Amino acid sequence: MTGDTYKAGQVLLIDKPLHWTSFQVVNKLRWEIRQAFDIKKIKVGHAGTLDPLATGLLLICTGKMTKQIDGFQGQVKEYTGTITIGATTPSYDLETEIDGTFPTSHITADVIKSTTQQFIGEIMQQPPVFSALKKDGKRLYEYAREGKIVDIKRRTVTVSEFEITHIDGNDINFRVVCSKGTYIRSLAYDFGKALNSGAHLSALRRTKIGNFDVSEAISIEKFIGGLKSNAIN
């Protein structure tokens, strides 16, 4: 590919590594494309945020394809991951420390599997306080880190599939297919409550966005290596 190819518009399938923010991936790829082809300015954006503690498919759009971002964001998504029962955290994942522990001895594999049915279809969900959503022009996680309590409205999302793939003690491995705007962290938290216990998300990987599959995605390092090879040729 050439610099003009990226300006004309490309959709890049990137396998986001752990601890990177989606914004960091966008900035890194934009900088590398500019450097490789001596481009002063190019639009680069992502179609759907992944939390730093999540890995998997991140769609990166360049040039004129950035106009298609809203369309990509609206597509159905698939995730796999692990819900750990018996403990909660303020962020609903491992970004924050455990703030509560709960009994789990009453929870059987059959109960876990049957409880998933409560979360299939249209469900009401409250976004985590530690999220990038804005209220009055400020990110919710900024309020949370200041210890301020804000009113977050519940909203309707759709979960079309919620499958338990493996249970290992308090760790429940799952696969979820859901609509835009679904917070898997909130799903984990609510799932713990439905089990008359508590839970948090301990691992998450996005595997699909519409027809795009993470099996077709490449690492940031591999993308950069390909860029440099193209620039030399």
Say if residues 161 and 120 touch (Cβ distance below 8 Å).
yes
Which own/partner contact pairs does 63-69 have at CB distance under 8 Å and 24+ positions apart? 63/6, 63/7, 63/8, 63/9, 63/10, 64/7, 64/8, 64/9, 65/9, 65/10, 65/11, 66/9, 68/11, 69/45
CA distances 184 to 87, 176, 224, Å, are: 16, 8, 30
CA 122 to mean position of chain CA atoms: 20
Q: Three-state DSSP class for 164? A: strand
Active site residue 110: no
Say if residues 203 and 184 touch (Cβ distance below 8 Å).
no
CA 99 to mean position of chain CA atoms: 23
Q: What is the DSSP string of 180-228?
A: TT--HHHHHHHHHHHTTS-EEEEEEEEEEETTEEGGG-B-HHHHHHHHH
DSSP letter for 95, please: T
Q: Which of 15, 38, 51, 168 is catalytic?
A: 51
Q: Which residues are catalytic?
A: 51
